[in-house]
Structure 1
Amino acid sequence: MPILDQYGNPISSSPPTNKTPSPVLGLDSRWRSYPLRGLTPQRLAQILREADDGYLETQAELFEEMEERDGTLLKLMQDRRLASIGLEWRVEPKDSSSEARRYADAFREVWTDMPWRGLMLDLLDALGQGVSMVGLVWERVDGLWQPTQFQHIGAKHLIYDFNLRRFKIRTQEEPTGMLPQYGQVIEHRYRARAGSPTRAGLMRTTAWWYLFKHYELKDWLTYGELYGQPYRLGKYDPATGKDERDALEAAVRNLGTDAAGVISKDTEIEIIETAQRGGPEVYEKLIELANREMTLAVLGQTLTSSEGQHGTQALGQVHLKTRMDLLEADTLALGETLREQLAKPFIAFNFGIERIKLAPVIQGILEEEKDQKQRAETLDLLQQMGVPIPESYVQREFGLPAPQANERILIRPGAQRPTPLEATRVSLESARPSRGVLNGQQYVFELLGQALNLGSEAMKDPLDLLLEQVRQADGYDDLRRRLIRLFPQLDVSQLSRLLEVGVTLAELAGMLAQREDADVDG
């Protein structure tokens, strides 16, 4: 039974043929229709309806131009895209099997040399457009099939086939669209809402607010050009000829900029000063509303951007959590796409299609900002409760360097200074290769760990006998009598020998350490 891809087609064990230039490369065209030029609500609705029918060219060009012309929209989309790209990304095995680890190691070497940040930036274009594709060319390098060329395929080159529920790529040879082969492209989809993928991009929502905003900008510029200027009225006699009327009109218009004009003495120009009521606040408020609505559409909140009103810290934390939720969703979706359409083809082409279930996982490591003070208080409380906390964990969580040998350490005011033995133990992990007392003490620490392991074995039988008497006893007096009778039968000779050997070895370690520090040859 053949293994199928995400579209239900059989997976090939060989990469797409690349003897000639890949048909999915070289598609980017410099020609644009610039749909924003003279855009009206009627024209915008027509463009969106074309995309609803599966033809994305004009809509894609419109969205590109919107982001190019509007600084606020560009910033919002960049914030959303770069948040995912800026994370630490790791390649992890699918499971703990040796085979999965081997596949992950092989893919990790390829991933490290890959321009994966640029690849992610191209794929995250789907946030605005709803879909984004990157064409791949596979070549054999060092015995493995690897993707060596990546090129973004703009959404303007895509047509959605509603019957196949797939995006086709328009080429010169196939203007109605070609279906890419398995492993030939990486297709990332973003779904801001349920329904057709041609309507899934965030730009569908922001397009209307963009239109309203720039209508207001145009009116605001006109208002700023005329604000404060007086009315200029030209008066002429009814018998005045057309040429004289045209000259009067030109003079009235030029008074606004040149403050000069030539007219007949039979005509008159009257300057009317206007009461300056109101101002540009209405335009400013409408533009702020448009910016705020676009921010809500892209980031889900406003307090983490410059478009929001100031609020309390608690409200700010809620808005930050909303933004983190979006980042987590974007990261998970991008990781799934990369595993499905990059890691799985890599495994299929190099190790066989029956191994694609073991394809490695590509994860973005998402860490929320930590409240260091709260964490320190929690650790202090846990320590008071007797919970053992490794020092290495504390140093790692708070980004603290381990103290070096003989380095002074900070002490809480009023707290006891550590004993020399404790201070030595703190510095052993990160100290330079040590000699003498440090070396000997390290030996004792290791000896202690071995002694505990051996001691647990030596105590097993005596401890079982003691526990048996405890379970059978009827009370404290009965238990006391049972333990007195049992004591001669307990065999602790092995434990005694272990203690004797441990003490002897510790003494020898101390003597050797003393000799090393004194540079005495043994």
Structure 2
Amino acid sequence: MADKPILYGPDGQPIRREVLTVEIAGPTITGVRSPITGYPGDGLNPRRLASLLREADEGEPLRYLELAEQIEERDLHYAGVLGTRKRSVAQLDIQVDAASDDPLHVQQADMIRDWLTRDELEDELFNMLDAIGKGWSFTEIVWDTSTGQWWPKRLEWRDPRWFRPARHDGTTPLLRGDMGDTPLSPFKFICAVIRAKSGLPIRSGLARLAAWNWMFKAFTQRDWAIFTQTFGQPVRVGKYPSGATPKDKDTLMRAVANIAGDCAAIIPESMLLEFIESKNVGQGSDLYEKRADWLDRQTSKAVLGQTATTDAVTGGLGSGKEHRQVQEDIERADAKTLSSILNRDLVRSWIDLEHGPQQKYPRLRIGRNEEVDIAKMSDSLAKLVPVGLKVQMSEVRDRLGFSDPDPKAELLLPPSVAPAAPPPAAPALQAERPAVRARDAVDELVDDTEALAAPAAEDMIDTVRDLVERAGSLDEVRAGLLALSPKMPDDRFAEAMRMALVMAELMGRADVAGD
């Protein structure tokens, strides 16, 4: 590894390669990077929510990030739509484009393709997409050099609470440490920022948008639970006769209190229990349900851009298809953003460590393969290539989804270039030479026929042209042609036709002899 070129980080300082192979951002039980989290969502109210959001804006996002984690844990709807958005990107196909056809560039692309076959990759991408909710996410690259080459051994997710933005710009991430906050080591981290809106990373995550919705929904659910507990079952009223003793009243009270849970009680015969049902239970319950559903729909719009794929609510004929297109647009945008992040923080760093700085680098592309109309594409190539259009075969294979053939692979070939049939036996070889001579004679006959027929055809055309020029109407042309028919100079033309029939006969015989 000593012969590798010296690499420099953004600060202009040389890269410390020995740091790249060890973990530097793991949890510390007694330090500032504790895995134990707080619960700022407990008893959250508008005043406390506004306060912790201001803290995040001022460069201390700890409580906000803890709240973002709680929202995902406690709001099933938010967790569902956010998980859908992350998983739809994490499971997409990944393609690698070489920087050029240069053998070194092809080797670099193949190296990355080999690494992408790891089973852990989908989970690692899912963790990187945590930035969709929190605004940013951090993944530590643990490099391996045991084989003499640089290799990303693991991509370890790191809790975003262990990082904070620099106060001077609000965007430069710093790693929390016991000795103070430090800039991230180059070539060591994948820093993903996926914005739901423009602005500072800590203010651009979906959790910031969902926090207010979640708080109001929590209020609605609490009130709904109290309402259900109070009016969801009939009110028990116990009646005691006049002159009842305190002991009788205590007995009746115990019966009223216990009958809700036990559904059974013993009371004296002279006492009476009544169950009084509330008349507005259904209407009151619908109010809470509608409010909770409305808040869920707003969350769906913020996360997925639509509601039809999650809430089964459509706005009209065909709207479900349109809503799906909106979700695909968001998926495509997330995939392009994640691709650019990986190209910047992983691919470029890897190539620099292994091969040194390059003029061009391979590129990752995450996304769905575009459906190609093979019939239409084939028809276009069949028309354009013969007239001079130059197309790379590798590009056509990529569009059709075919890989480059291996050198020893069995290939499909068009009929014109199909492998030749086995040579015929010796007697057939002797019969082939006369067939070749007969075919040469036929060719000479074709030439003679063309020479004989050409002047005759020209004379016939000249005769008809003169007749048309002299005629004054179509009737005169018709009468002239009928009168001219027996006198047409067609002797040589008739002779040419007879020779053509002979030629056809000879060509047929030559073909049979050749076969």
- Whole-angstrom distance in 2 between the partners of 1:95 and 1:428: 28
Q: Deviations over 1:456-515 (max 9, x none)?
A: xxxxxxxxxxxxxxxxxxxxx9xxxxxxxxxxxxxxxxxxxxxxxxx9xx989x96xx7x
Identity %: 27
Correspondent of 1:322 among 323, 326, 333: 326
Partner of 1:105: 110
Q: 2:183 aligns with which of 179, 201, 205?
A: 179
Whether the 8 Å CA contact 2:348–2:361 is kept in 1: the answer is yes
Structure 2 equivalent of residue 364 of structure 1:
366
Q: CA deviation at 1:434?
A: 7.1
How is 1:49-198 mapped onto 2 (pairs within 5 angstroms)? 49-113=54-118, 115-163=120-168, 165-171=171-177, 173-174=178-179, 176-198=180-202
Q: Which amino acid in structure 1 is aligned with residue 362 of structure 2? A: P
Aligned mate of 2:311, from 306, 326, 331: 306
Q: Deviations over 1:387-431 (max 9, x none)?
A: 899xxx99999999xxxxxxxxxxxxxxxxxxxxxxxxxx8559x
Distance 2:347 2:143 in 1: 13
Q: Distance in 2 between matches of 1:143 and 1:507?
A: 67
- State the alpha-carbon separation in 2 of the partners of residues 335 and 438 from structure 1: 56
Give the TM-score of the pair, scaled to structure 2.
Answer: 0.65
CA contact (8 A) 1:72 1:291 kept: yes
2:47 to 39, 42, 49: 42
Aligned to 1:222: 226
Q: What corresponds to 1:337 in structure 2?
A: 341
* C-alpha deviation, 1:81, in angstroms: 0.9
Between the aligned partners of 1:303 and 1:75, the Cα distance in structure 2 is: 14
Relative to structure 1, is the Cα distance of residues 39 and 307 closer, same or farther in structure 2, using a 3 angstrom cutoff?
farther
Q: Distance in 2 between matches of 1:394 and 1:343?
A: 26
The 1:272–1:17 alpha-carbon spacing in structure 2 relative to 1, beyond 3 Å, is closer
Larger Rg: 2
**Structure 2 CA distance, aligned partners of 1:251 and 1:99?**
87
Matched, 1:203 2:238: no
The amino acid across from 2:164 in the alignment is I
- Assess if the C-alpha contact under 8 Å between 1:13 and 1:349 holds in 2: no
Task: Say whether the 8 Å CA contact 2:238–2:272 is kept in structure 1.
Answer: yes
Q: Deviations over 1:294-319 (max 9, x none)?
A: 11000111223335326322x33332
SS at match of 1:37: coil
Match in the other structure for 2:482: none
Task: Report what 1:17 is aligned to.
Answer: 19
Q: Secondary structure at 2:95's aligned position in 1? A: strand
CA distance in 2, matches of 1:82, 1:182: 28
What is the alpha-carbon distance in structure 2 between the residues aligned to residue 275 and residue 331 of structure 1? 53
Amino acid of the structure 2 residue aligned with 1:10: G
Q: How far apart, CA to CA, are the structure 1 residues paired with 2:72 and 2:293? A: 17
- Residues paired across the two proteins, number: 403
Alignment CA distance shift 1:437-1:78 (3 Å): farther
Cα pair distance change 1:235/1:43, threshold 3 Å: farther
TM-score, structure 1 normalization? 0.64
Code of the residue aligned with 1:22 in structure 2: it is E
**Long gaps (5+) in structure 1:** 401-426, 440-476, 478-502, 515-522
Q: 1:243 to 1:166 in 2, by over 3 A?
A: farther
Q: Report if aligned partners of 1:138, 1:149 keep a CA contact under 8 Å in 2.
A: yes
Moved more, 77-86 or 318-327: 318-327
Structure 2 gap ranges (5+): 1-5, 387-394, 403-411, 425-461, 463-506
- Whether the 8 Å contact between 2:59 and 2:164 is mirrored in structure 1 is yes
The one-character-per-residue Cα deviations of 1:147-191 (angstroms, maximum 9, x if unpaired) are 2232111111111112153111223x33x4222210111111111
Describe the shift of the 1:318–1:18 C-alpha distance in structure 2 as closer, same or farther (beyond 3 A): closer
* Alpha-carbon distance in 1 for matches of 2:352, 2:301: 42
* In 2, Cα distance between equivalents of 1:124 and 1:397: 28
Partner Cα separation in structure 1 for residue 146 and residue 211 of structure 2: 45
- Return the alpha-carbon distance in structure 1 between the equivalents of residues 396 and 18 of structure 2: 51
Q: Secondary structure at the match of 2:17?
A: coil
